[in-house]
């Protein structure tokens, strides 16, 4: 018997108890829509609890109990957005891997069209692009993202409009390179994008809706902004 095609969705979680009810509702709708569009696919959803101090873990375990078999919660002791994602990637054995934030900003159903596009175009990775007229992205995030869009266009000949998107889908054959990335914090997103360019992976992006987050943001505009800049420069120097 041929092995079924498979997709693993990885979702990092650090103190997101306010957003989990929204996530649960959207997850149920996504699971149904995904099975309708990809009947021959096996879906796995892994939420990585990253040392949450609120009741996120208890809420997520309840969802797991109701969806045994394809939804699971795992723990990542090493703190950080990148560390949690890499821990999730390492825990799955799927043909395709995707990830998004748990804060209700990214519409889960967009992954369906993203997967269709990735397969149709035979891409290595596809990004969910937030920068468009219908987006609810904050002005400060828009400005920050535009800085890196211009910088990566100049340094790496990037054609992306959203280099920091937290919603991506990629072929698992590239997982070992991604797991080798040094960044374990929020700078993982820009480090990952630099890896795409440095390895000449075939990429594209598709516009997605972007909503106001539920709960408190973990992003520090100044601290993380300078860290992102250092990651870009470091990768460019390594490229030369």
Residues 6+ apart with CB under 8 A from 2: none
**Residue 23 φ then ψ, to 5°:** -60, -45
Q: Which pLDDT value is given to residue 221?
A: 56
The fold of 5-239 is Spore Coat Polysaccharide Biosynthesis Protein SpsA; Chain A (3.90.550)
Contact 102, 11 (CB under 8 A): yes
Rounded distance between C-alpha atoms, residue 128 and residue 108, angstroms = 11
Contact 21, 61 (CB under 8 A): no
Based on the number of CB atoms within 10 Å of its own CB, is 144 exposed (0-12), middle (13-18) or buried (19 or more)?
middle
pLDDT in tens, the chain (240 residues): 346 799 999 999 999 999 999 999 999 999 999 999 999 999 999 999 999 999 999 999 999 999 988 999 999 999 999 999 999 999 999 999 999 999 999 999 999 999 999 999 999 999 999 886 666 666 666 777 788 889 899 899 999 999 989 999 999 999 999 999 999 999 999 999 999 999 999 999 999 988 887 767 666 656 666 777 778 778 777 775
Q: Which pLDDT value is given to residue 1?
A: 38
Is the Cα torsion angle 26, 27, 32, 38 positive or negative in sign? positive
**Measured between alpha carbons, how far is residue 203 from residues 36, 115, 171, 175 in Å?**
26, 12, 11, 15
First and final CA of the chain: distance in angstroms? 47
149 HSE (CA, 13 A, CB side): 14
Q: Is the pTM of this model over 0.75?
A: yes
Residues 6+ apart with CB under 8 A from 125: 118, 168, 169, 170, 171, 174, 196, 201, 202, 203
Q: Which pLDDT value is given to residue 147?
A: 86
Rounded distance between C-alpha atoms, residue 9 and residue 219, angstroms = 22
**58-97 as b/e, with b when 16 or more CB fall inside 10 Å?**
ebbeebeeeeeeebbbeebeeebbbbbbbbbbeebebebb
All structural domains of the chain with their residue ranges: 5-239
Taking each helix axis from N to C end, the angle separating 188-198 and 81-90, rounded to the nearest 10 degrees, works out to 60
């Amino acid at each position: 018997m041929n092995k079924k095609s498979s997709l693993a969705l990885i979702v990092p979680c650090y103190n997101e108890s306010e957003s989990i009810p929204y996530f649960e509702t959207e997850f149920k709708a996504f699971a149904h829509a995904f099975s309708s569009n990809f009947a021959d696919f096996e879906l796995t959803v892994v939420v990585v609890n990253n040392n949450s101090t609120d009741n996120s873990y208890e809420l997520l375990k309840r969802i797991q109990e109701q969806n045994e078999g394809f939804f699971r919660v795992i723990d990542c002791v090493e703190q950080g957005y990148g560390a949690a994602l890499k821990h999730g990637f390492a825990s799955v054995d799927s043909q395709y891997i995707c990830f998004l934030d748990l804060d209700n900003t990214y519409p889960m159903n967009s992954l369906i069209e993203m997967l269709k596009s990735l397969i149709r175009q035979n891409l290595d990775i596809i990004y969910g692009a937030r920068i468009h007229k219908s987006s609810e992205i904050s002005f400060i995030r828009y400005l920050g993202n535009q800085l890196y869009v211009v910088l990566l266009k100049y340094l790496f000949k990037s054609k992306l409009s959203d280099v920091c998107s937290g919603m991506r889908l990629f072929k698992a054959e590239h997982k070992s390179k991604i797991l080798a990335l040094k960044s374990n914090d929020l700078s993982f997103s820009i480090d990952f994008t630099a890896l795409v360019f440095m390895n000449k992976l075939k990429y594209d992006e598709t516009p997605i809706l972007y909503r106001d987050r539920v709960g408190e943001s973990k992003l520090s505009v100044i601290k993380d902004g300078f860290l992102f800049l250092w990651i870009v420069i470091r990768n460019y120097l390594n490229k030369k």
